[in-house]
Structure 1
Amino acid sequence: MTLTENNGRAAGTTSPRPAPAATPATPRRIPGLPRSLPGLALAACGVAVAEAVHLLLPAVPMLTAAVVLGITAAHLPWLRHRVRGTARPGLTLAGKRLMRLGVVLLGLKLSLDDVLGLGWATVLMVLAVVVATFFGTLWLGRRLGLRGDQPLLIATGYSICGASAIGAVSEASGSDEEDVATSVALVTLCGTLAIAVLPLLHQPLGLDDAQFGRWVGAGVHDVGQVVATAQTAGPAALGEAVLVKLMRVALLAPLVAAVALAVRNRRRADAAGAGAGAGEGAAAGKRPPLLPLFVVGFLAMVVVRTTGVLPTAALDGAREAQELLLAAALFGLGSAVHLPTLVRTGGRVAALGLCSWVVIAGVSYAGVLLTT
């Protein structure tokens, strides 16, 4: 009888199924949120320290400090295990989701009226700088044999708006987190060097304040770095720099759409090469949208800013929120940088960064002279 009962239980015919309470589904309805809390808390601490650094050293943008602090946290002996362990889900969430929100709010800095006020000559100059820098950096990065999407991401960061553009394009291309982190670290480093180097070239290059501002706006990567660099030449330079820089930011949406289209075409070609109808259908089902939702949000914010319906207080609050969100995202991305791995390709990455820096500085300088 015992044998029969055992056989019955093995066959599942005489033993009742376990009660539903044994496999609760409630925790799964909040995917990964509890696991993300330690990392989000660490990112919040990193943002607080980055803001304190900026207040003590105004020449250091908060976003730059956030990246450096993220890299530092990932290598401190007493903290690195937590960064790579319990805090990793939250830091990854910050690097992806909070970056998207920050990019959306970035649109509130840009008005179409301001862009059109620059004049067509300046608009064409900015387009030439972006195209030359993007394709030149992309070509050189591939020739140097950099891994994965690093050439694409570095080219994006240099030509558009630094780490924000890298985060946006990485979402469209599905880039590896390590590639994103390495690209952010390089672009942030070069942008930080620009804060110290470009003001020294202001007078030797024979630029007046307005020309210097346009050169900085066309040639420096992140918005915060542009402000920190241009303000050394006064309010006229700062105003010109911000307007030219925001014109580059406006090109973020078409670039993301182009990358998404390229990824879609590549997946379609891979599916066709596999020669399997089912595989092709699966690949088609995973196609990225031509314009990701957060880029649509970015464009919507540009339209809202152009209408002028938002009061100054709301714009100031959005600017503060955007800075905090991007700082948290950059802390998360910085924490994914693994310096030993970076050192192994450091020579090639540094060479690409230096060459791209020379290209964007040279092309933007020539453009400023031709349009003034």
Structure 2
Amino acid sequence: MTLTARLPHDRPDSGRQLDGRLPGIGAAALAVVFALVVNHFVPVLSPAVVAVVSGAALANLVGVGERLKPGLRFVAKRVLRTAIVLLGLQIAVPQVLALGWRTVAVVVLATGVTFTLTPLIGRRLGLTPGTSLLVATGVSICGAAAIAAMRESTDDSSDDDAASALSVVVLYGTTAIALVPLAASWLGLSPTQLGVWAGAAVHEVAQVAAIGAASGVLVTAVTVKLGRVILLAPIVALTSYRRRHTGPDAPGRPKQPPIIPLFVAGFLAMVALRSTGLVPGAVTTAIPQVTNILMAAALFGLGTGIDARILVKGGRALLLGAIATGLVGAVSLAGVMLLV
């Protein structure tokens, strides 16, 4: 009798929790369908970018009701982490290393210089540390996915910081689709040099793929880009370590963030698994689409927290994005011309 009486109180009401999330999850699912349709007709716009813009539009033009918020919080946090973990299955380290040490050196140098200098420049421009960090992350590593991962790993950035960084990725990454091939032609770069430069300098994987497909260097460009994506894990870990020892959660405070967030460790584990060659071909073929869907859902949830009024005033963030884009482009171009 006693055991029977306690069971309803001891068991969490997971069904009720799921019911509360369903409206928001359903809205995210509809947004993903819309994003995939737009991407089908306009391939240069990745589903993730379309989804975050859709979320912002919904929040600022219609409003997000209370019924949607639990589900949107779920996709913006839990689904995001799952998408980043699965992103690791797209990356095989041997394929990246096969590009040669010169190409790897270009990627590491361009990414490291841009990520290091961009926050310093942002500080001189009077931007918040959160905005500067997310712009640096998105431009130097892999666009929207990197911005979302860094925001999830640190506690000093807001939805508006993320919105500013995402606007940079969309604006300058899309512009690069036209400008990078033109500049490469004007500079007399070889097809291999163009592929390496695009992969090392352009923000989003979809944007790099658009350049590569149009220029006949798709495999090289995307492989180099995925080499940059690998750097997401050490850069997030390094940033978390610095926050742990120098930020508001420094030793002596009760709360300290992990040096490597669990989902970033999962990302590394998936990279290691893919690199063994044991992952079936059917899985590696399907994973990019699955990851795109999950990332689009997560970024739709993130987008619903964006205040467009603050974004419109973000001229300095766009200036920082232009400087950072120029920096990663110049450093990688110099490396390509000297080493590749």
Question: TM-score of the superposition, structure 1-length normalised?
Answer: 0.83
Match of 1:241 in 2: 221
Match of 1:353 in 2: 321
Asked whether 1:34 is paired with 2:19, we answer yes
- How far did 1:209 drift? 1.6
Asked whether 1:366 is paired with 2:330, we answer no
- Kept in 1, the 8 Å contact 2:134–2:147? The answer is yes
Give a deviation string over 1:20-70, Cα, whole Å, max 9, x none: 99x978666679543332221111111100111111223332222222222
Quick one: which of 277, 289, 302 aligns to 2:271?
302
The number of aligned residues is 334
Match of 1:209 in 2: 191
Quick one: which of 162, 177, 183 aligns to 1:195?
177
Q: Distance in 2 between matches of 1:304 and 1:27?
A: 34
Asked whether 1:48 is paired with 2:33, we answer yes
Segments of 5+ residues of structure 1 without an aligned counterpart are: 1-19, 272-279
Q: Could you say what secondary structure the match of 2:225 adopts?
A: helix
Give a deviation string over 1:173-211, Cα, whole Å, max 9, x none: 123233223322322332222223323323112112211
Q: Distance in 2 between matches of 1:324 and 1:224?
A: 14
Quick one: which of 60, 63, 83 aligns to 2:48?
63
Q: Distance in 2 between matches of 1:112 and 1:252?
A: 14
Asked whether 1:257 is paired with 2:237, we answer yes
- Kept in 2, the 8 Å contact 1:64–1:192? The answer is no
What letter is aligned with 1:103?
Answer: I
- How far did 1:267 drift? 4.6
Give a deviation string over 1:333-361, Cα, whole Å, max 9, x none: 222221111122x2111111111111111
Asked whether 1:226 is paired with 2:195, we answer no
Quick one: which of 289, 292, 317 aligns to 1:323?
292
From the superposition, tell whether residues 38 and 189 of structure 1 become closer, same or farther in structure 2 (CA, over 3 Å).
farther
Q: Could you say what secondary structure the match of 1:58 adopts?
A: coil
- How far did 1:264 drift? 0.9
- How far did 1:148 drift? 4.5
Match of 2:120 in 1: 139
Task: Report matched runs for 1:160-171 at 5 Å.
Answer: 160-171=141-152
- Kept in 1, the 8 Å contact 2:249–2:257? The answer is no
What letter is aligned with 1:255?
Answer: I
- How far did 1:216 drift? 0.6
Match of 1:128 in 2: 109
- Kept in 1, the 8 Å contact 2:35–2:51? The answer is yes
From the superposition, tell whether residues 253 and 240 of structure 1 become closer, same or farther in structure 2 (CA, over 3 Å).
same
From the superposition, tell whether residues 201 and 29 of structure 1 become closer, same or farther in structure 2 (CA, over 3 Å).
same
Question: TM-score of the superposition, structure 2-length normalised?
Answer: 0.91
Q: Could you say what secondary structure the match of 1:360 adopts?
A: helix
Q: Could you say what secondary structure the match of 1:106 adopts?
A: helix
Segments of 5+ residues of structure 2 without an aligned counterpart are: none
Quick one: which of 80, 86, 108 aligns to 1:99?
80
Quick one: which of 315, 318, 341 aligns to 2:310?
341
Identical positions, percent = 43
Q: Distance in 2 between matches of 1:143 and 1:32?
A: 46
- How far did 1:270 drift? 5.4
Q: Distance in 1 between matches of 2:259 and 2:245?
A: 11
What letter is aligned with 1:124?
Answer: A
Larger-gyration structure (1/2): 1
- How far did 1:268 drift? 7.0
Quick one: which of 262, 266, 277 aligns to 2:246?
266
- Kept in 1, the 8 Å contact 2:176–2:202? The answer is yes
- Kept in 2, the 8 Å contact 1:138–1:151? The answer is yes
What letter is aligned with 1:310?
Answer: V
Worse overlay, 333-342 or 45-54: 333-342
- Kept in 1, the 8 Å contact 2:163–2:311? The answer is no
Give a deviation string over 1:150-190, Cα, whole Å, max 9, x none: 11111011111111111111122123233223322322332
